[in-house]
Amino acid sequence: MFTPDLRVAVCLLSLLSWAIPGQAAQSTPNLGQAVSEEQLQGLDLIVMPNGNGLPEGSGSAVQGQVLYEQQCESCHGAQGEGSPGVPALVGGSTTDTPPLMTVGSYWPYATTVYDYIRRAMPPTAPKSLSDDEVYQVVAYVLQLNGLITETFELNRNTLPAVVMPNRNGFIDRSQVQQVRP
């Protein structure tokens, strides 16, 4: 059992170990490396809901189908129906209870789909798709959801104009009066 004296000794020892030369001299927490300006540029992939930040380029669903079959279908299914542990990209409606949340039934902006796929998909090689390829595969996902035709060309002007079914389904909490019990 610990006696009070022993507890004091343990405290002192742990304080001493903090002051080991070398560690004590460190001025930063040593949690990683500083990010260079160049790396920061590469991370700046944000596309805003209104389309700000969308890159040049274009693509249609006809082109996107090829890419989808090569890089997406194995996980998301031939018709975007999903697979165990992988969300469906197609189906559902804004009135389902409980809701099946897919790109078509849930996402309020088509621009966000671009942003998400460009930065995160496929998960084995995020950011590997070119800007054109992302337009193509977004077009295919939108077409599978019946939101555009297979030859409709998506680009930085036409993509923000695609109105998603759940466009008005979200509540702006800043506009809601908070009611507290």
Binding residues (CB under 6 A) for ligand HEC: these are 71-72, 74-76, 85-87, 89, 102-103, 113, 116-117, 121-124, 137, 141
Contact assessment for residue 160 and residue 48, using Cβ atoms and an 8 Å cutoff: no
Query: CB of residue 176 vs ligand HEC: minimum separation in angstroms?
Result: 24
d(CA 168, CA 146): 18
Over the Cα atoms of the chain, what is R_g? Answer: 25
Least CB distance from residue 120 to ligand HEC, whole Å? 7
Instruction: Give the nearest distance from C-beta 80 to ligand HEC in angstroms.
Output: 9
How many angstroms separate the CA atoms of 148 and 5, rounded? 76
Q: Say which residue the tokens 């809701």 belong to.
A: 99
Which C-beta is closer to ligand HEC: that of 6 or that of 48?
48
Distance CA 104, CA 91 (A): 6
Would you say 54 or 113 has its CB closer to ligand HEC?
Answer: 113
Nearer to ligand HEC, 141 or 154 (CB): 141
Q: Supply the minimum distance, in Å, between the C-beta of residue 71 and ligand HEC.
A: 4
Of the candidates 131, 147, 141, 162, the residue with the CA atom closest to the CA atom of residue 82: 141
Residue 84 or 181 having the CB closest to ligand HEC: 84
